[in-house]
Amino acid sequence: MDKTDFEKTRYEFLESISQALDFGEQPIIKALLVTNNTYLIGEADKKAIWDQAFRDKFLNDSPFFSIPLFEKLLQLSLDCAVALICSPTLPVILLTDAFDILSLGKCEEIFYMVEMKVSTWKQELFFNQCKNTLLRLCNDLLRRLSRSQNTVFCGRILLFLAKFFPFSERSGLNVVSEFNLDNLTTFGGKEDLSDGSDITEKEKDAMEVEESLGSDYNLYKKFWSLQDFFRNPNQCYTKIPWKTFCLHTNDVLSAFSTIKLDERRNRSKWDEADVSADVGIDETSTNAGNVQQYFAKYLTSQNLLELQLGDSNFRRYILLQFLIIFQYLDSPVKFKQETHKLSEEQTTWITEATDQVYRLLKDTPPDGASFAQSIRHILKREELWSNWKNDGCPEFRPTIAPNTDDIPNDSSNGEKKTVAVARPRRMKRSLGDQIREASKRHKCIIGNAEMNRLWNLCPDNMAACRSKDRDFLPTLEHYFEEAIEQLDPSVESQYKRVNEANFGWRALRLLARRSLHFFTHGNTPITRLPDYLETHVRKLAKDIQSVNVLPNVKPEPVDDAGEVEQMEPEADPVSSTSEIEGGPDEANVKPDEVEEAVEEENLGKKPILCTMEQLVLLAKEIGIKWKLLAPKLGFGPDEVEYFESETTEVELQAKKMFQIWLENETDATPENLLYSLEGLGMLNSAQGIL
């Protein structure tokens, strides 16, 4: 094919691409390939022309770059690649061209096109031919970006690479355990602290007052010199650096142990200084105005060390670094040198130091214990990853072991061999079929057995909301019990519950719902809420004493509407009994009043309920007969079916029924259970149990 034919074909293809983008008529390209047979072009040449036409279209539109138009062009190139019209690498080449000519701000805006199509890039058609180009594209972007100022964009790129490449891809693994030796942490000396020209006399005095262990220069030097060991742990395998590391570590951990943290620790110093102990914040001027830039580096000024040692987050950063280096030094790594081994004494020291670090993590608020447990779990996972890398990073291949039956097979030599035959798996019903079947029976299917049971206790949600069990309002007697006891004149007014604002607010709401005294009109105006509540408490005490619910209450006189009423002190139980039996006031006591008083006293007693131990023994005795007892205890056929579906053992089915009956039945007494058993002729099963 000569140059003229190439240019003519390229021009026609370019026009087809423009028409497809303008009108969304993608089939025009396919039709052109079918009808355009005048130029006797091979398939390889056609793909090359299509690739060039797409790139020309992008370059022509680049001076007026539009994100929607470029996204449409990229999708069109993907469709052509799937249809084998152009090369599979064309979409990635278009992305590379775009990232090369655009600013970092535009690159960050269009990177979502790479992220959203990660499943497309992992297809067999694209992966093998595009993985190197995509890796080069991402690496070029990372080289242009600043790890401290463009942290979010760098993280998005790394996350995309983690999703795109498989775990076993060696290009994304630090197989030989290399360290970032360029990550240096610099800190100043004493001469840096002697320049006090910018510090006022007041600030100097405050610094002298706040001098403590954290501001000591020796501790400051030891503390920040440890970052060099964290940067390059291999130097710990030599004698002198190891001694230095142990000495500095012991001093720093001792300082952490000395400075205890409290969750309510006053952090006003941080707010006044407006400084972060573990990160740096710099304000730079941009076109949009002043924007705070984030730098993930430690601030190493000695003046900040005391604040840093008192910050729980900063302490966790340092302690976690200790745990990481301890695990590396004591773990087998394939690419370690033969001399990189610890002695027994060194291993013992690391074990003790690790335990001390975990204790400090547990003592670091907030949620120190749970945080330490999470770190322990993460480091255990890291150990598994290290072992996987030591094994050469084998590819993850999930294996499913089929259910097999051992079937004897007679061989020709008379020996019997066992042949594994896959057992066919039973098809599971779809969730939709289960829900339709349950709805016919007016039941709910949630997906969990316990949730199904709870939702089916009362299928009508509104009826469940109106249930008496959901009445959480306390009784007047229970809520005002302490306030009634405080009516004693010996209790000082400042210690009474009626003076508490929270108690008063709840008391007013409860009185409005449960007491008629709340709506009684009185001539005495309400001056203070505690006085108003105390008046109602006296009335409640009088009402309660009249029905003999709360004995031994001796309230003060009540002044209501100008009338003074004195509550009668409660009579002694012995003298009351003597009066009823024939005392001097026998003629004034009516038999009906005595019966009502006895009834009220009996109602105040709580019934004795069955215990779970008794019901477990009864479940063993009745066995399969529990199905006869279920209707008597209020269980329907569907609930019996639920108990049978939970387990196949009869004893456990009966135990489950008794357990739910005991939890939901407010009157689960032995008398009621014996009455039900007697009606079924099963009373002998309960002998010696209830």
Asked whether the bond before 366 is cis by omega within 30 degrees of 0, the reply is yes
Residue 553: partners with Cβ closer than 8 Å, 6 or more residues away: 484, 485, 487, 541, 544, 545, 570
Pick from 255-264, 364-373, 492-501 the range whose average pLDDT is largest: 364-373
Give the residue-averaged pLDDT of 258-282.
52
Across all residues in the chain, what is the average pLDDT? 76
Q: How confident is the model at residue 1 (pLDDT cuts 50, 70, 90)?
A: low
Other C-beta atoms lying within 10 Å of the C-beta of residue 288: 6
Give the residue-averaged pLDDT of 572-582.
40
Give the model's pLDDT for residue 501: 85
Inter-residue long-range contacts of 336-341, CB under 8 Å, 24+ positions, other chains counted? 336/177, 339/237, 340/234, 340/237, 341/237
Strand partners, 563: 560
Give the model's pLDDT for residue 94: 93
> Do 49 and 12 form a contact (C-beta atoms < 8 A)?
no
Give the residue-averaged pLDDT of 476-491.
85
Q: What's phi and psi for 197, nearest 5 deg? A: -65, -30
> Do 58 and 94 form a contact (C-beta atoms < 8 A)?
yes
> Do 549 and 568 form a contact (C-beta atoms < 8 A)?
no
Q: Percent of the chain beyond pLDDT 70?
A: 73
Is pLDDT above 70 for 560?
Answer: no
**Who has greater pLDDT, 463 or 122?**
122
| Per-residue pLDDT tens over the stretch 619-674 | 888 888 888 888 888 888 888 888 888 888 888 888 888 888 888 777 788 888 88
DSSP state string for 400-419: -PPPEEEEEEE-TTS-EEEE
Q: How confident is the model at residue 152 (pLDDT cuts 50, 70, 90)?
A: very high
Inter-residue long-range contacts of 333-342, CB under 8 Å, 24+ positions, other chains counted? 333/177, 333/386, 333/390, 334/389, 334/390, 335/175, 335/176, 335/177, 336/177, 339/237, 340/234, 340/237, 341/237, 342/237
Other C-beta atoms lying within 10 Å of the C-beta of residue 84: 11
Give the model's pLDDT for residue 236: 93
126: exposed, middle or buried (Cβ count in 10 Å: 0-12, 13-18, 19+): buried
What's the Cα-to-Cα distance from 240 to each of 244, 246, 341, 345, 471, rounded to whole Å?
A: 6, 10, 15, 15, 73
Is pLDDT above 80 for 59?
Answer: yes
Gap between the Cα atoms of 415 and 258, Å rounded: 75
> Do 86 and 54 form a contact (C-beta atoms < 8 A)?
yes
Other C-beta atoms lying within 10 Å of the C-beta of residue 220: 23
- The H or E element spanning position 658 is helix 650-664
Is pLDDT above 70 for 404?
Answer: no
Gap between the Cα atoms of 483 and 547, Å rounded: 18
Gap between the Cα atoms of 686 and 222, Å rounded: 76
> Do 253 and 222 form a contact (C-beta atoms < 8 A)?
no
Gap between the Cα atoms of 158 and 139, Å rounded: 10
Radius of gyration of the chain, Cα coordinates, nearest whole angstrom: 41
> Do 87 and 81 form a contact (C-beta atoms < 8 A)?
yes
Q: How confident is the model at residue 188 (pLDDT cuts 50, 70, 90)?
A: confident
| Per-residue pLDDT tens over the stretch 131-145 | 999 999 999 999 999
Give the residue-averaged pLDDT of 173-177.
79
Is pLDDT above 60 for 603?
Answer: no
> Do 621 and 686 form a contact (C-beta atoms < 8 A)?
yes
Give the model's pLDDT for residue 427: 62
User: In the chain, what is the straight-line distance between the N-terminal and C-terminal CA atoms, in Å?
Assistant: 103
Gap between the Cα atoms of 292 and 281, Å rounded: 7
Is pLDDT above 70 for 406?
Answer: no
329: exposed, middle or buried (Cβ count in 10 Å: 0-12, 13-18, 19+): buried
- The H or E element spanning position 222 is helix 217-231
Give the model's pLDDT for residue 423: 53
Strand partners, 30: none
Give the model's pLDDT for residue 79: 87
Gap between the Cα atoms of 583 and 606, Å rounded: 32
Pick from 201-210, 522-531, 633-642 the range whose average pLDDT is largest: 633-642
DSSP state string for 166-220: -TT-GGGS-TT----TT-------HHHHS--TTS-HHHHHHHHHT--GGG-HHHH
Give the residue-averaged pLDDT of 237-259.
93
Give the model's pLDDT for residue 547: 66
The region of weakest confidence among 24-28, 167-171, 262-266, 364-368 is 24-28
What angle, rounded to 10 degrees, do the helices at 90-101 and 43-61 form? 20
The region of weakest confidence among 104-108, 196-200, 398-402, 681-685 is 196-200
The region of weakest confidence among 27-36, 146-155, 421-430, 529-538 is 27-36
DSSP state string for 274-322: T--SSSEEEEEEETTEEEEEEE-S----GGGHHHHHT-HHHHHHHHHHH
Gap between the Cα atoms of 318 and 298, Å rounded: 11
| Per-residue pLDDT tens over the stretch 82-116 | 888 889 999 999 999 999 999 999 999 999 999 99
Gap between the Cα atoms of 615 and 689, Å rounded: 8
**Who has greater pLDDT, 439 or 349?**
349
**Who has greater pLDDT, 223 or 4?**
223
The region of weakest confidence among 327-341, 566-580, 604-618 is 566-580
Q: How confident is the model at residue 498 (pLDDT cuts 50, 70, 90)?
A: confident
**Who has greater pLDDT, 171 or 681?**
681
Give the residue-averaged pLDDT of 449-475.
78
Residue 306: partners with Cβ closer than 8 Å, 6 or more residues away: 210, 212, 214, 215
Give the model's pLDDT for residue 411: 47
Helices (H) and strands (E) in the chain, counts: 33, 6
What's the Cα-to-Cα distance from 121 to each of 81, 89, 99, 116, 132, rounded to whole Å?
A: 12, 10, 18, 10, 12
Give the model's pLDDT for residue 585: 42
What is the DSSP secondary structure assignment for residue 527, as one 8-state letter?
-
> Do 621 and 689 form a contact (C-beta atoms < 8 A)?
yes
